[in-house]
Structure 1
């Protein structure tokens, strides 16, 4: 099978292809330029190509552009199916020292944290891709942090949805509350809802 056919097969399977995927499969990156010149694929942005640019997942694109970021807050609630509508503002959490201007230019509300790696889980997206999102327990507690102003109705609805779900893990929620020193903030909500 030719390299062009291999690249097109990967594109059919995943909906997009990155230069990293091409390299990992032992293929030449020049083939991407040739396919683009033949109008068989489109360059979405640097290093990302697709057959149909309208079907590209914007969350995956943002994760690709900002690999050190984790979808958080209301964005995580939405991605974890604890918030019905897509949030008006996308949130990602980044490590201390990250240049937040780049994220703001990409219309992301950056949150800077020293505890970026705590509570990350992959979420599968269309085309076999995945993105980094905080677990629901971490997300609920992030919404209670004093530096962040969350919509209390959305928080309460998400917490209620979480507590009614089969996947709830109260010990994990309380462990995160201890870790982030938010036990006194979450306890009143738990007393009302449990």
Structure 2
């Protein structure tokens, strides 16, 4: 299975939990040293894991993550779509470049991975997309909120479309204290999961 954004935070927890339950996990993240460390830690407790240091915001890199899983483990039967970027900004001060990057990571990264996973998944496979309760709108983080609203919409569409192929698609909206949420790093910083 593939877990994106898995070098730290919730993604790391998802990857480690899946491995403890017997899954072979591709730990994907742009933070190479951290991704390698998570994969090594999983192997250290007897699990199977490899790192894939790629940005899923780029279509060809997202495709390569799925190929990495096929090469390492022979199949892709699970995808946890957890790419994450968040920043805080009043609407009038929103930076178009930061907004574009956030949408490319959170929305397009999720889309790119799902496209490529859907090509190779068999019946019984599962996709889990990371949403957020902020999808209903949250002042000061409307770019993030909008991206999670898009993920919710994509999840519903994919669940209906892929049901006939025996592929489950769900979303979760975890509530957790991470560096991406309030009380994490200072608000002027962008946060990646």
TM-score (norm 2): 0.23
Q: Which has the higher contact order (CA 8 A, sep 6+)?
A: 2
Q: Which has the larger radius of gyration?
A: 1
